[in-house]
């Protein structure tokens, strides 16, 4: 009797073309999802399939001009290289990206926040033949949730005190709930974990400050990062650039 892993392996497509033949049948359904960019890329990190939302965010009218290109070739210099670097890690190391808070482009071509997921695609021999990804727009808060008022106070506290260390303990005291409840309710109301909420506010402030002449070490401190390397890591994870590279790119 075959193991579950063996059966799963045999059900995998052998080539990317074989996988695309089936995925293309779903494209009409994927095209009607307005708040998520969905795509498949080959082992060179080139687009081979994308839904209409992604096509429009690349400033295109249809899919064809996007095919065969990498993110570097279709996105602005502030965003494209980071996406492609991410792709390389998935394709070369088998890395699975989950719930990554990062910048994306919206219909107006202005950057906004999304949660990105990427994973490698394997053939029957366990070789990586491409990757699949989805970037879901960060939705507005669910104001009808019973815990909204408590969590609005948590959000306000984060926005007021993000420039220092904010602990889960102080957030639970404000909300009057346990850590587990805080995690669960924040995901339902704000679609982010409490730590992601803190990270988002800090990085939004960092983006603004990096358009000034303030030294980067001071930017980090004003955004609540006492560890400059931690600031650099988080900033690069959300944009694909170090703070210095981002500043240089926006000055061009």
Average pLDDT, the chain: 88
* Angstrom distance (rounded) from CA 69 to CA 45: 8
Residue in 206, 224, 75 with CA at minimum distance from that of residue 160 = 224
- Provide φ and ψ at 118, rounded to 5°: -140, 145
Residue in 162, 157, 171 with CA at minimum distance from that of residue 223 = 162
pLDDT tens digits for range 165-187? 999 999 999 999 999 999 999 99
Take residue 201 and report the two structure tokens written for it.
Answer: 């506010």
- Residues 222-239, mean pLDDT to the nearest whole number: 91
- Residues 126-151, mean pLDDT to the nearest whole number: 90
Asked whether the predicted pLDDT for residue 6 surpasses 50, the reply is no
Could you check whether 4-137 and 148-251 share the same CATH topology?
no
| Residue 75: its H or E element | none
- The CATH class of the 148-251 domain is mainly alpha
Radius of gyration of the chain (CA): 20
The domain limits of the chain are 4-137, 148-251
CB-CB neighbours of 13 under 10 Å: 18
pLDDT tens digits for range 211-226? 899 999 999 999 999 8
Under the banding of pLDDT at 50, 70 and 90, the label for residue 3 is very low
- The CATH class of the 4-137 domain is alpha beta
- Provide φ and ψ at 160, rounded to 5°: -85, -30
Asked whether the predicted pLDDT for residue 8 surpasses 50, the reply is no
Take residue 47 and report the two structure tokens written for it.
Answer: 């687009």
């Amino acid at each position: 009797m075959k193991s579950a892993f063996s059966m799963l392996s045999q059900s995998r497509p052998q080539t990317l073309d074989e996988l695309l033949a089936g995925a293309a049948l779903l494209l009409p359904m994927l095209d009607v999802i307005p708040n998520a960019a969905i795509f498949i890329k080959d082992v060179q990190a080139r687009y081979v399939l994308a839904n209409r939302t992604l096509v429009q965010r690349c400033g295109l009218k249809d899919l064809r001009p996007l095919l065969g290109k990498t993110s570097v070739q279709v996105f602005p210099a502030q965003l494209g290289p980071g996406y492609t670097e991410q792709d390389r890690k998935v394709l070369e190391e088998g890395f699975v990206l989950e719930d990554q808070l990062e910048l994306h482009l919206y219909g107006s071509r202005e950057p906004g926040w999304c949660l990105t997921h990427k994973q490698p695609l394997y053939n029957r021999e366990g070789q990586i033949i491409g990757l699949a990804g989805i970037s879901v727009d960060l939705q507005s808060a669910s104001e009808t949730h019973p815990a909204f008022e408590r969590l609005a106070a948590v959000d306000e506290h984060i926005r007021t005190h993000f420039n220092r260390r904010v602990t889960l303990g102080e957030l639970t005291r404000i909300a009057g709930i346990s850590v587990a409840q805080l995690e669960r309710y924040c995901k339902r109301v704000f679609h982010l974990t409490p730590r992601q909420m803190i990270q988002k506010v800090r990085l939004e402030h960092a983006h603004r400050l990096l358009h000034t002449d303030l030294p980067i070490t001071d930017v980090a401190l004003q955004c609540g990062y006492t560890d400059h390397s931690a600031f650099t890591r988080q900033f690069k994870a959300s944009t694909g650039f170090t703070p210095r590279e981002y500043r240089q790119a926006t000055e061009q």
